[in-house]
Amino acid sequence: MKVIDGDFGKKKDTREEVPTSEFLSVFVGKAMAHEENGRNMKCAVIMYEDGETFEVASNEQYPDGVYMLLQMASQAIMNETLGVTE
């Protein structure tokens, strides 16, 4: 069991933020590598700026498929954060 610090919203980390374009360019390389290996990857991207922008885009054509991708990501984050094991 992990203990979660309750100081939510307070940044203690002094690491420099990675620019969004740089972050996404790494994923372009990963996507190209998967495609070169014949894999058909599904992708959902969320871009958010506090109080300004919220955008969701996906190469999955069906809303339920996009929802599934986002739920899978959500559960993966929760499992990693909370240390849930089965």
Note the pLDDT tens digit of each residue in 17-36.
888 899 889 989 999 999 99
What are 46-80's pLDDT values in tens digits? 888 888 889 999 999 899 999 999 999 888 888 87
pTM equals: 0.61
Q: Which of 65, 66, 45 is nearest to 56 (CA)?
A: 45
Would you state the structure tokens that stand for residue 5, as one six-digit string?
A: 């610090």
12 C-beta neighbours (distance < 10 Å), count: 6
Distance, CA of 57 to chain centre? 12
